[in-house]
Amino acid sequence: MTGALAIDVHDLVKSFGANRVVDRLSMQVAEGEICGFLGGNGSGKTTTIRLLCGLLRPDAGGGTCLGFDLLRDSPRIRLQVGYMPQRFSLYDDLTVTENLDFVARLYQLADREQVLADVLQRFELHRYAQHLAKQLSGGWKQRLALAACVLHRPKLLLLDEPTAGVDAKARREFWDLIHEMAADGMTVLVSTHYMDEAERCQRVVYLAGGRLVVQGTAEQVVQAAALVVFQATGAGIEAAVRKLRRLPGVETATVFGGALRVSGKDRAGLRTALQSLPENGLAWQEVPARLDDVFIHMLNEQEKGP
């Protein structure tokens, strides 16, 4: 990785009782980068994000965030970071403007009124300025939460599944805002379960069991997985998918729209499985793996355990 690093941490460990949630994690994120943070539930993503913004203290390991020492300078880190948790954390019984004004006062912004006006306009929240937060749809609540995160002009955004539960249009508009802010020089680390969102990131990091499994561009992660995928279309895919899931060599068999995708690590085993099917008119061809194929593969590996 070239250029200055916004995040540079090594050997982070965090346990809750006997449960080690983050296990010797090392990772780097370059300044100005949008980095996707992937992993199944319980993989350590949320805990890692809280370690990075100083809300939790690691049991071991260290490093820097925005050039500040993770252990000694957590108050200074928090002033430079915008953190958006999974759940909406603003006040339902305050208006959009009142919520933003409250956050601006917490940061003691000298130009508070101008900042509020600018952010209301930039995030198109001015039309809802006097609406109570509880009256907003899920997508507009998330937009309000993001606006509150950037009032103090942070250099780093840490977003924990920011678009969970919102519709496709709201997700796309939310990501357009993320790219606009990254174009202005902000660094973004965003956890997501949506593979179309991960593909919009310049780089992705995948965690399993609190450990970094793979990182790189989406293309590099797909290539590193070395997953073999066959695809077929035809009238018999619903019957074929049930049979394929029980055959050796087949890791996943899933219908996407009108196509049946079968994946695994063993090309010969997959071919044998496909050839064992009764004649059903399906025409199979090997196709490139996608990031969602790799994500499901890694989740399966995580469930198997060591």
Q: Are residues 208 and 68 in the same domain?
A: yes
For residue 280, the domain's CATH number is 3.30.70.860
Which has the closest alpha carbon to 36: 207, 184, 166, 173? 207
Whether 50 and 128 share a structural domain: yes
Domain holding 258, by residue range, is: 228-288
If asked whether residues 167 and 85 sit together in one domain, one would say yes
Q: Whole-model pTM?
A: 0.89
Element (DSSP H or E) covering residue 21: strand 19-30
On whether both 158 and 263 belong to a single domain, the answer is no
Listed residues 214, 245, 272: the one ending a domain: 214
Give a yes or no: residue 298 inside a domain. no
pLDDT by residue, tens only, the chain of 306 residues: 556 999 999 999 999 999 999 999 999 999 999 999 998 888 899 999 999 999 999 999 999 999 999 999 999 999 999 999 989 999 999 999 999 999 999 999 999 999 999 999 999 999 999 999 999 999 999 999 999 999 999 999 999 999 888 888 999 999 999 999 999 999 999 999 888 899 999 999 999 889 998 899 999 999 999 999 999 988 778 888 888 988 998 999 988 878 899 999 999 999 999 888 877 778 889 999 999 899 888 887 776 665
**Paired sense of beta strands 34-38 and 81-84, if any:** unpaired
222 domain residue, yes or no? no
Please tell me whether residues 43 and 174 are part of one structural domain: yes
Cβ atoms of residues 262 and 227 within 8 Å: no
Looking at the structure of the chain, the number of domains it has is: 2
Examine the domain organization and report whether 144 and 238 are in the same domain.
no
Q: Is residue 223 part of a domain?
A: no
Residue that has been written with the tokens 């990785």 in this structure: 1
Block residue for tokens 């805002």: 177
* Same domain flag for 72 and 26: yes
